[in-house]
Amino acid sequence: MTPDLNLSHTPAHRRQGSSIGQPMTRRDGILKVTGAATYAADNHPPDMLYAVLAVAAIARGRVASLDVAAALAHRGVVEVMTPANRPALALDPDAKFHPFMFRLDLLQNDGVRYPNQPIAVVIAETLEAATEGAALLAPRYETETARVGFEDAETFVPGGVGVGNPASQQKGDVKAGLAAAATRVEARYETPPQYHNAMEPHAIVASWDGDSLTVDTPSQGLAIAQGRIAGLFGLSPDKVHVRSPFLGGGFGSKGLVSGPQVLGILAARLVGRPVKLVLRREQMYGPVGHRAPTRQTLRLGIDSEGRLTALDHHALTASSTFDDFFEPAADASHTLYASPAIATAHEAVRLDTGTPLFMRAPGEATGSIALESAVDEAAWACGRDPLDFRLANYAEVEPMTGKPFSSKALRECYAEAAARFGWSGRPLAPRAMRDTAGLLTGWGMGTATFPALMFQAEARAVLKSDGRGLMETSAADMGQGAWTALAQIAADGLGLDIGQLEFRAGSSDLPDAGIAGGSGHTATAGMAIHNAGAAVIARLADIATADAASPLYGAGNEGVVARSGRLYRRGDESRSESYTEILGRAGLSEIEARGTSAADQDTREAYAMHAHGAVFAEVKVDPDLGQVRVTRLVGAFAAGRVINPRLVRSQYLGGMIWGASFALHEEALADHRTGRIQNANLAEYHVPVNADVPSVEALLVHEDDPYVNALGIKGVGEIGITGTAGAVANAVWHATGVRPRRFPVRIEDLLAGGGLG
Amino acid sequence: MNRFDYVRPTSLAEAVAAAAMPGAAYLAGGTNLLDLMKGGVARPERLVDITRLPELNRVERLDDGSLRVGALVRNADLAHDQAFAATYPAVAEALLSGASAQLRNAATVGGNIMQRTRCSYFYDTASACNRRELGSGCDALAGENRHHAVLGWSPACIATHPSDFCVPLVALDAVVEIEGSKGRRHVTLEEFHRLPGEAPQRETVLEPGELVVAVRLPAEASAFASHARYLKLRERTSYAFAVVSAAAALVVEGGRIRQARLALGGVAAKPWRARAAEAALLGAEPGEAAYAGAAALALAEAKPSGDNGFKIELARRVAVRALSLAEAGTPARLPALPASVFASTTGARHDA
């Protein structure tokens, strides 16, 4: 059973007719703003105990001793789980059968391979007792030298990057292109390690009933989580029930089950009682993924007409010592700018960190800030306006593959965003603009892109004789608005007003909705919902058109239209019948059908599918003191059909703010000796506050895409970061004359670069 | 956190008596202490909750013209006290530039003065820190230290004091009122915080069990009301600690500086009063030349404690700007972004 969430069935701003395209407010909004939404850690089953992780203070070595007796002696402590007594698993946590199966630290031994790796779990009657019990363990270590930075380890070429892309790709002759160029630009950029920092920390409440397991835990992909847990514990997946109605942000860090979540399940197994385990903020800097640092080198050749002759993008990145995830930063150069020769390559080192993972726009975010900076340098080197330069190098087909785009309204994005921003008349030279307060003012731009991905999903649709409909799929709402947008698709798919629809999601006992990742959830789950709706309407039509008593008798499947709870005969709307009447006469209380979705491989072979956008940024910089602020951001994005413009705009704004954060704020500072993150808290790991982004605008550019899927949906969750980060960096250059070479931009770099008075 | 005794005295005498035992700590807003306890950085055996002591909650004008602010007055309440803000505008501006609205609602005057450094090695109990554990060493010295001290540091400790509030207070000759088992005493804020030297674990002149009960601003401090500013350079427009900051206050008459105050924040283990700079400004003609000279004097002894040499130049510049802003005059209203470089009163719309 799914929990009764009391979701409002009828969102505000509802119009009759099609739900798709309407700017409906979130159906879960009231629950969230009143605190009634039950996030994972809000669950308190009877007899529940609290578990707290003890984590490693070293990056590399082994745990020599733990004072388990001291912890057990603390009042309220029930049990301490260590490698010595951790319940057995059916699967080695270090087993890896496919690239998306990441190795977990589940107390399989006393080894330590990154700071904040779990080394024990203390389970107690109260959170306070468990916390103090963890402190009393007072671990001693045998410590080996930590490998913290790029210089600490040998580079190698990874077998693949990102989601299985080749580490190197090329077309044309880059060397020749560079040699023939009238202008050459070579530049290096560095991006720091970043951590997802969802507001809601990873949390789990685990309850065993014999060999059945129920967990409340945030998950971006419930079926994947269910399967992973079942595999680790040797259970049939139907014995594992994962509930995740609400996520307080995920950004990729909740895409796959993390080690600490499994430790909560193990703790519950060990003590035979329900257990809650919630990560402390600083414990999120290690075992739940991060964005790896990059050092990127770009070489661009440009002819006398301002057109690229060669684009060479090399990225050095890092993975953990024990698993593989390589930030595919250089692949950002595959899709944006036309060039007869393109080469991308990745190298990597292995560091004593947790394994990096997908973090909102993995590869695109890091690669985009470097590529857009380099393109800006190239435009300046050629004496061209940055927008003109990009238009001169506009890719009419996907540069790396030569495939046509399924749709690409990037020109319109450039035009609309530039007009809204007021780009024309921008002086080419840096340091040419000041505001009336004397602040250095700079304008920069960047191009945004993100692939239009689709995965596989299933949904179940039900029509009931009372005229209501039900749609079920295990979709995950991590804040993007799936509860609302997918319900809009469901309502249209069932031909019902959204008020007549019950939409169930967020639970693993529902049909698999795939993963809320890769900006592909609305397209993937949405298409399954659409198809399930069509299938159940087809069944209803079969019943009606075969029933001599129905006004639709003989119309045939092709001949009816479903709308607002009625079937109409196509071409003669005077002949219609309500769902209730059709089912009632047939003596059926309900009918159901399932629908699935998957990317159409043939069209994917034939077409390149990407969302696009253009972002313009204004920054102001104090001319003496160097403090930087993004005073304006204007983005225009084209991403196919928009299901809910309110939610889509919200995704763009969030992405753009993240882009500003990438350029100016975010950075995890690791001590170069110990590898421990020194700013593992939200006071000192900076993300923007409202005052940092006083004006952000996102424009929705119309785009019809006949190829991506039947609904014409691309993704909107990640694209906002791309383009924006580079636009802000370029605006900093335009304001100060100092080209940011490492991110985030630091005052001392502006000072040393001569950008300040 | 560790198990501890919790006592809630009803009188000052009771509080001081309750805190006399070793391992006791006073609890007021808890915005810093509770974090330290959760992280195992502070492990008091007894918490003496003083939040119910009524006499610590008042702001009162004394007969000698000084203002006495009780230690339990909340940061937000003090900053939004219109009479206070009009008389000591730089102090109000500093208060509102610190932390977040939620923290300012909870944090107290006494707690602000008593807050601990934000040095990450102090917080990280796996690191060596002489301030936390004398003799263990200082991992910040060769670590992540771009925010660390450039004045008054020692090889034993390079931490800074993170308070904004204390910077204008020290400039205005604030006095700390202290209650102890031997009665009451008064110490200037300038003397209250200690530089690390060989004993960084002793952060203030408080004796064990002593309690800050009030902060006094002398009558003379109100003379600067029309020309006093606080300027805070930071890496996020709000909710960020200062990279460097400065409080400046001037009295200008007949085209000459008659009184000058300058203090720096984020540069040392204490709010840094720049007396030599003040002396150089006396009698000088207001203007950038005088301020630059003063700022150079203020940082004359500065030296990097690590990867933070840029702070010296920035501190000079912030001092010059703060003095210029003070000369220009206190704005009629507190800027929407208090103490921010993006709050210039002469400025255009920054979000236009």
Contact between A437 and B344 using a beta-carbon 8 Å cutoff: yes
Q: Do A437 and B118 touch (CB under 8 A)?
A: no
Question: Distance (Å, rounded) from C-alpha B186 to C-alpha B215?
Answer: 9
What Å distances lie between residue A442 and A439, B188, B225, CA to CA?
Answer: 10, 46, 36
Based on the fold, state whether residues A70 and A138 are members of the same structural domain: yes
Instruction: Look at residue A9 in the predicted model and tell me its pLDDT.
Output: 57
What is the rounded distance in angstroms from the CA atom of residue A108 to the CA atom of residue A155? Answer: 29
Estimate the crossing angle of helix A364-381 against helix A645-664, to 10 degrees.
70
Task: Examine the domain organization and report whether A622 and A559 are in the same domain.
Answer: no
**Is A621 within a domain?**
yes
Q: Which residues of B touch A632 (CB under 8 A)?
A: 351-352
Q: Which residues of B touch A747 (CB under 8 A)?
A: 233, 235, 243, 310, 314
| pLDDT at position A128 | 94
Q: Is residue A318 part of a domain?
A: no
Instruction: Name chain A contacts of B233, Cβ cutoff 8 Å.
Output: 625-627, 747
> For residue A228, is pLDDT > 50?
yes
pLDDT tens-digit readout, B142-195: 999 999 999 999 999 999 999 999 999 999 999 999 999 999 999 999 999 999
In sequence order, the β-bridge partners of residue A122 are A52, A80
Does A678 contact B235 at a Cβ distance shorter than 8 Å? no
Mutation for testing the B interface, residue in A624, A657, A696 having most B CBs under 10 Å: A624
| Residue A292 within a domain | no
Q: Which residues of A touch B346 (CB under 8 A)?
A: 436-437
pLDDT at A557: 55
pLDDT tens-digit series, residues A229-268: 999 999 999 999 999 999 999 999 999 999 999 999 999 9
Regarding whether A528 and A562 lie in a shared domain, the answer is yes
Reading the block at residue A166, the tokens are 């080749």
CB contact under 8 A, A436 and B347: yes
Q: Is the pLDDT of residue B351 over 90?
A: no
| Residues sharing a CB contact under 8 Å with residue A644, sequence separation 6 or more, in sequence order | A20, A21, A22, A23, A24, A481, A484, A485, A488
CATH number of B5-52: 3.30.43.10
Secondary structure percentages of chain A, helix, strand, coil, to 5: 30, 25, 45
β-bridge mates for residue A635, sequence order: A615, A698
Q: How confident is the model at residue B346 (pLDDT cuts 50, 70, 90)?
A: very low
Domain co-membership, A665 together with A714: yes
Min distance A261 CA to chain B CA atoms (Å): 22
The residue of chain A with its CA nearest to that of B99 is A683
Distance CA B281, CA A229 (A): 71
- Identify the closest residue of chain B to A687 by CA–CA distance: B236
DSSP-derived secondary structure for B288-328: HHHHHHHHHHHTTT---SSS-THHHHHHHHHHHHHHHHHHH
In a domain, A207, yes or no: yes
Q: Is residue A237 part of a domain?
A: yes
Q: Which domain holds residue A444?
A: 364-453+605-752
- Identify the closest residue of chain A to B147 by CA–CA distance: A684
CA-based nearest residue to A259, from A228, A292, A291, A223 = A228
- pLDDT tens column, A69-124: 999 999 999 999 999 999 999 999 999 999 999 999 999 999 999 999 999 999 99
Give the chain B residue nearest A283 (alpha carbons): B39
Q: How confident is the model at residue B349 (pLDDT cuts 50, 70, 90)?
A: very low
**What's the whole-number average pLDDT of chain B?**
95
Answer yes or no: is A725 within a domain: yes
Give B347→chain A minimum CA distance, Å. Answer: 4
**Cβ <8 Å between B139 and A671:** yes
Calpha distance A24→A71 (Å, rounded): 52
Same domain, A393 and A269: no
Please answer yes or no on whether B236 and A131 come within 8 Å at the CB atom. no
Encode pLDDT of B39-89 as tens digits.
999 999 999 999 999 889 999 999 999 999 999 999 999 999 999 999 999
A466 lies in the same domain as A504: yes
User: Residue ranges of the alpha helices (H) in A550-704?
Assistant: 579-586, 601-606, 645-664
pLDDT level of residue A428 (50, 70, 90 thresholds)? very high
Q: Residue A443, Cα to own-chain centre: how many angstroms? A: 28
Segment (H or E) for A696: strand A696-700
pLDDT digits (tens, 9 = 90+) for B263-310: 999 999 999 999 999 999 999 999 999 999 999 999 999 999 999 999
Q: Are residues A441 and A525 in the same domain?
A: no
Tell me the pLDDT band of A223, cut-offs 50, 70 and 90.
very high
Its CATH class, for the domain covering B225-331, is alpha beta
DSSP B226: T
d(CA A430, CA A443): 9
Q: In chain A, whose CA is at the least distance from the CA of B244?
A: A625
Task: Note the pLDDT of residue A559.
Answer: 84
Proportion of chain B in helix, strand, coil states, percent, rounded to 5? 30, 20, 50
pLDDT given at position A1: 45
What pLDDT is recorded for position B347?
Answer: 39
Q: Are A627 and B233 an interchain contact pair (Cβ–Cβ within 8 Å)?
A: yes
Interface touch A135/B342, C-beta < 8 Å:
no
From CA A473, how far away is CA A544, in angstroms rounded? 27
User: Which of A598, A627, A642 finishes a domain?
Assistant: A598
Record the tokens describing residue A153, joined without a space.
Answer: 């380890």
CATH topology (fold) of B54-114+161-221: 3.30.465
| Spatial distance between the Cα atoms of A5 and A199, rounded to a whole number of angstroms | 21
Give the separation between CA B177 and CA B206, rounded to whole angstroms: 11
Residue A215 lies in a domain: yes
- Could you say which of A278, A306, A327 is where a domain stops? A278
Instruction: Say how far apart CA A620 and CA A630 lie, in whole Å.
Output: 6
Mean pLDDT for A395-423 is 98
Q: Residue B350: its pLDDT value, please? A: 38
- Residue that is last in its domain, among A554, A578, A598: A598
Residue A59 and residue A116: Cα distance in Å, rounded? 8
Look up the CATH number of the domain holding residue A494. 3.30.365.10
Q: Which helix (H) or strand (E) is B111 found in, with range? A: helix B109-114
Q: What is the DSSP letter of A431?
A: T
Banded pLDDT at B247 (limits 50, 70, 90):
very high
Chain B: give the shortest CA distance to residue A288, in Å: 20
From B67's Cα to the closest Cα of chain A, the distance in A is: 32
pLDDT at A3 over 70: no
A217 in the same domain as A100: yes
Domain shared by A111 and A246, yes or no: yes
C-beta of residue A127 within 8 angstroms of C-beta of residue A78: no
Judged by DSSP in three states, B183 sits in strand
In this predicted model, what pLDDT tens digit does every residue of A603-642 receive, in sequence order?
A: 999 999 999 999 999 999 999 999 999 999 999 999 999 9
pLDDT band of residue A5 (cuts 50, 70, 90) is: confident
Interface of chain B toward chain A, CB-CB under 8 angstroms: 1-3, 38, 40, 118, 120-121, 124, 126-127, 139, 142-144, 146, 233-241, 243, 310, 313-314, 317-318, 320-321, 337, 340-342, 344, 346-348, 350-352
How is residue B178 written in tokens?
């202290």
pLDDT above 80 (res A201)? yes
A425/A542 same-domain check: no
Domain count for chain A: 3
Where are chain B's structural domains?
5-52, 54-114+161-221, 225-331
> Is 80 exceeded by the pLDDT of residue A688?
yes
